[in-house]
Amino acid sequence: MNVTICWTTKEWKVIEKIRKKFGISSYMSVNRETPCNIKEEDMELLKETEKRGFIQIRNK
């Protein structure tokens, strides 16, 4: 599923852990957004990450 992640946390260690878990590229725009392709089975965990306040999921 193609989504855009907006990083709300500024902690680089947390961002790196999330990127490794979901296979997200290291690209980040000046608006702190990263376009990515997330597997359907990982979407539930990604939504939990959003609930904890680390990211915002945007469907662009």
Contacts of the segment 34-40: beta carbons below 8 A, 24+ positions apart: 34/4, 34/5, 34/7, 35/2, 35/3, 35/4, 35/5, 35/60, 36/2, 36/3, 36/4, 36/5, 37/1, 37/2, 37/3, 38/1, 38/3, 39/1, 40/1
Nearest Cα to 7, choosing from 32, 41, 39?
Answer: 32
pLDDT in tens, 8-60: 999 999 999 999 999 999 999 999 999 999 999 999 999 999 999 999 999 87
Q: What is the pLDDT of residue 19?
A: 97
Q: What total number of domains does the chain contain?
A: 1
Q: What is the pLDDT of residue 26?
A: 94
Domain holding 35, by residue range, is 2-58
Q: What is the pLDDT of residue 60?
A: 73
